[in-house]
Chains A and B, each alone.
Chain A
């Protein structure tokens, strides 16, 4: 199965080609919903089969001795110029397999869900074509055995994100249009890519290769200056902040919610946005060699986490809350990576993929049942109308809130513990406050949606449960959100090798771990106490949220009225978009138009050319007057000339 790994890339590509080229024909040729079914089945099956292949490759790899678990499957030479040799090859190792399982597994469920969600949409075939194209690109991103193939996937997922955010290209979104949101996502990502590109160039300059195995093994052994490592790491991290929506490039992700909800679940929660985390994890040795940058990564992650969580507290659009929640959770992942806990960051990628995909799909189910209404203030009491959606959403909420026993608890706890052990108390504290906010806004969301009074208009809105094609994926994800954490139990309970997830990934990070001085002497008691504290705090936040939004809604109003300024600041997302618009977008646009084009180009450069032309024209007009055509005038000039020449001759004798 390892040797067949290229099929996991190829199959979605084939699905894309079939649906992309013939989707419209299939739909028109078949009666009623048959066309949709065929398109949906093609789209889902390609991903489903890919998943099975990945599973096969996973067990095959698991059966191998640890030192043989990293395999390369080469296809052909892509680029070869001078010393540069880039192969189209896939690296099958613990890390890429883990990511591939998440992408194809969760991806498959979301494809199936989309059959129900996109039912009746005129762009049904186009949607599935794009989704398949996305899986194709994402698989290249995680399986590529070198930076260039990774970058191919990296840009490819960006393109699919662009296409899918703007999927309903003739709709409005907030103050603008969906296509504006799509363009924003692509451009902001490109800013990150600029950093990524420079990182690649410096890697090539330093290590003379762009192949992972070569670069990473050289990075572990070559005497390279720390400043060089630092520069590479910071460049790569700029790339990661773009793709994974971290400060300062997070602004595109909330707007990405303009796309259909399954897209938000797949691309903007479970898979694509974790690409940055994956990349940092893949190049862990480079980051580990640059301690300063590690600290920057951790701090950026932490600040992003708390900033986004605080915005999430007051948003009223169900998808927007989840979007900021995603930004915040991604911050956790970078916090983990920055603390050197790469395995914990990938662990959180996985659990987050389960519960956040579930939350988005659940939200989609709610939106579906509420006739496209997204404002949670206009929901309420939906529990009885949508029991399966409610139950699964509830499980996901418990998981993300960090309730013990569910997947989110284990991964978040591991991150918080690492923050404490390697960063210090402040890191833990800020992380903990973020966790409390998370628990609060999630239960606020849950309460306003499913509990309490029904605040919607019964004449126009008839809430209903979604069909099984949508709820079955929810149930499977709910199951995973519960049990997903048990492969990564805390070492404090299960001993040094009891954390299966960490032991599995350990060889990937071994070079990095050798470079990092790690884990001071912290007692088990400390860890257990912190864990207990975090559980207690999370539970109290949950209690508080339910209490406020179920029983005493006036408390929320009083608080927001009392802290009006702060409330507005949060509601308007700290005015970051407005600040960027005023400080970056407008100056560049106005400057380009007024200064560069109309002034420099038209007035100065072209003006000089035209000026020269008219100067010649005018002076020729003057000189032309000498050509009078009157012979005697010529004779006079001629004689004067001869006279001067003679005079000069005489004088020079």
Chain B
């Protein structure tokens, strides 16, 4: 294995910048903002450099950097990427500067702490995606909770304390179980390989040999932790609260990246570490995923608060991702990976747009709006694009993910029934209902509220600048998804091969 330091540089950039932020004076608001954006842009550039060095014809982990950390426990600082994590890293570094830019007006209280939290959060997210040592992974996984807790708790809405504590406890509960499983697994590995290890690549060989009964518990512990994060029905109730209370930037990162850590965990840990259990429980989990798809969409439909509507739609969209992962066909998992990106883009855009309106009117209830097409044409057009992307209109990104997931799950031998797809596909109808209905009530019709005429102004250049890059990718993935599909294809195949090597009940 060749050591490459690029990922370490990438990881260090937001860490060092976040520390540097603390040396600014509280009053230097503008400077802090610019510094935050500049350093997150630097991280984006470094991630692009990493991408340029990434070889998508290589199915193994790449750009690896390994260094001894805790020698007695055989824990190492061990980072590297495959196609899946590379893509998610790019998503993270892409969204972070945009979200920071979106806070220009929205965050005025304690900008220094906020910028610190955001950069620290970025470091945590990057760490999660690049860690190849489970202990290291766990550290990042937990570390990232803290800034998010503050982002919701300090800069959030009225019920921010309730929401942030709920968010914290839910996630903490899951991750503690995962910690137990990690320790158990590392100990068990010494009985198999002769040494205690938390190295993920070694554990890939250990996990499948765990006796089935125990493996089921291990799987369960990891799974629960990830399922809460996703969130999978019925573990989702922290999400609407967190989203509604979080500031726009928090919602964007939460939906855009944080939720993906759950689905990423499923692909990176649950499937390859415990293939037998993953296959055995796939149908049961998929039932929950499909319930989530329909349930999330229906509950979303009847929301009166725009942010809550988008939050519940996440439950529905992420249900697709989980279904795709556990259908375990190349099409469905590829679809799931691309859908993670899609959801980050389209839901991110929706939250940003809701935020734009909220900044002007301080209202999020659908009933307050009406007929704004006339007042804010650019905003209405942007909202239309974001909505269509989320609805899964062919030609835009959402379609690619949903189509591949549904197509792949239809032929899945792991699921063993086409009913999963039939029910999941009905989500396509409901998605159109809740988003179009919201759009109709907010944008079309006559101007219902004269307050709007004074308060609601169209998008400014800064806001347009935030959304246009997102839309570029919305179109890119919709028209030429191969750029991204090729990046992850071999990695997905590797995961599926690992599963099929230990389980007969798999197609290809």
Contacts and interface: CB of A to CB of B under 8 A. Distances in A.
Interface string A144-179: 000010011011100100100010011000000111
Interface string B409-450: 011000000100110011011001100110010011111000
B395 A183 contact: no
Q: Is the interface of B mostly helix, strand, loop or mixed?
A: helix
Contact of B432 (A186, A204, A600, A605): A186
Interface stretch (B207-215, B258-266, B477-485): B477-485
B245 interface: no
Nearest to A588: B298
Contact of B489 (A81, A197, A605): A81
B403 interface: yes
Nearest to B240: A601
Contacts of B238: 609
A605 B295 contact: no
A170 B481 contact: no
A79 B393 CA distance: 15
B407 A204 contact: yes
A385 B56 CA distance: 72
A177 B440 CA distance: 10
A81 B334 contact: yes
B237 interface: yes
Nearest to A204: B407
Instruction: Output the residue of A155, A159, A197, A592 with the most chain B CB within 10 A.
Output: A592
B469 interface: no
B299 A592 contact: yes
Nearest to A589: B302
Contact of B445 (A169, A190, A202, A596): A169
A201 B237 contact: no
Contacts of A93: none
Contacts of A78: 479-482
Instruction: Output the residue of A183, A605, A613 with the most chain B CB within 10 A.
Output: A183
A187 B433 contact: yes
Given A156-B394, A204-B407, A593-B302, A82 B334 contact: yes
Nearest to B422: A198
A170 B298 contact: no
Contacts of A201: 406-407, 410-411, 418, 421
Given A81-B334, A159-B393, A605 B234 contact: yes
A155 B393 contact: yes
Contact of A170 (B329, B433, B446): B446
A606 B170 CA distance: 12
Contacts of B335: 81
A80 B426 CA distance: 25
A212 to B, nearest CB: 17
A82 B480 contact: no
A179 B445 contact: yes
A179 B394 CA distance: 22
Interface in B343-376: 371, 373-374
A190 B410 contact: no
Nearest to B380: A169
A194 B482 contact: no
Nearest to A155: B394
Nearest to A169: B444
Contact of A152 (B301, B394, B421, B428): B394
B252 to A, nearest CB: 24
B388 interface: yes
A170 B485 contact: no
A579 B485 CA distance: 45
A231 to B, nearest CB: 10
B485 A197 contact: no
Nearest to B508: A82
A20 B404 CA distance: 31
Given A81-B331, A200-B407, A76 B444 contact: no
A197 B295 CA distance: 21
B485 A597 contact: no
B221 interface: no
B330 interface: yes
A268 B163 CA distance: 49
A205 B371 contact: no
Contacts of A81: 330-331, 334-335, 404, 485, 489
B411 A204 contact: yes
A264 interface: no
Given A79-B404, A169-B444, A190-B432, A597 B299 contact: yes
Q: Is the interface of A mostly helix, strand, loop or mixed?
A: helix
A631 interface: no
Contacts of A154: 394
A84 interface: yes
B253 interface: no
A591 B301 CA distance: 11
A596 B292 CA distance: 12
Contacts of B148: none
Given A596-B295, A597-B302, A187 B394 contact: no
A193 B331 CA distance: 20
A76 B407 contact: no
A77 interface: yes
Interface string B367-405: 000010110000000000000100001110001100110
Contacts of B489: 81
A60 B479 CA distance: 30
Nearest to A126: B377
B429 A191 contact: yes
B377 to A, nearest CB: 8
A591 to B, nearest CB: 8
A179 B96 CA distance: 36
A180 interface: yes
A592 B446 contact: no
B496 to A, nearest CB: 10
Instruction: Output the residue of A151, A152, A186, A601 with the most chain B CB within 10 A.
Output: A601
Contact of A194 (B418, B429, B508): B429
Instruction: Output the residue of B428, B440, B480 with the most chain A CB within 10 A.
Output: B440
B421 to A, nearest CB: 6
Interface in A66-102: 76-84
Contacts of B421: 198, 201
A197 B299 contact: no
Contacts of B166: 609
A480 B440 CA distance: 39
B480 A193 contact: no
B407 A179 contact: no
Contacts of A198: 410, 421-422, 425
A76 B394 contact: no
Contacts of B410: 198, 201-202, 204-205
Contacts of A151: 394
A197 B445 contact: no
Instruction: Output the residue of A155, A177, A191 with the most chain B CB within 10 A.
Output: A155
A302 B399 CA distance: 35
15 contacts: A78-B480, A78-B481, A79-B400, A81-B334, A82-B330, A152-B394, A154-B394, A169-B373, A170-B373, A179-B440, A186-B432, A198-B421, A596-B302, A605-B237, A609-B237
Interface of B: 166, 169-170, 234, 236-238, 295, 298-299, 301-303, 329-331, 334-335, 371, 373-374, 388, 393-395, 399-400, 403-404, 406-408, 410-411, 418, 421-422, 425-426, 428-429, 432-433, 436-437, 440, 443-447, 479-482, 485, 489, 508
Closest 6 pairs (CB-CB, A-B): A179-B444, A82-B330, A201-B410, A593-B302, A152-B394, A592-B298
Given A197-B403, A197-B428, A201-B407, 19 more contacts: A78-B481, A79-B403, A81-B331, A82-B408, A84-B407, A151-B394, A152-B394, A178-B444, A183-B436, A183-B440, A186-B436, A187-B433, A194-B425, A194-B428, A197-B425, A198-B425, A589-B302, A592-B302, A596-B298
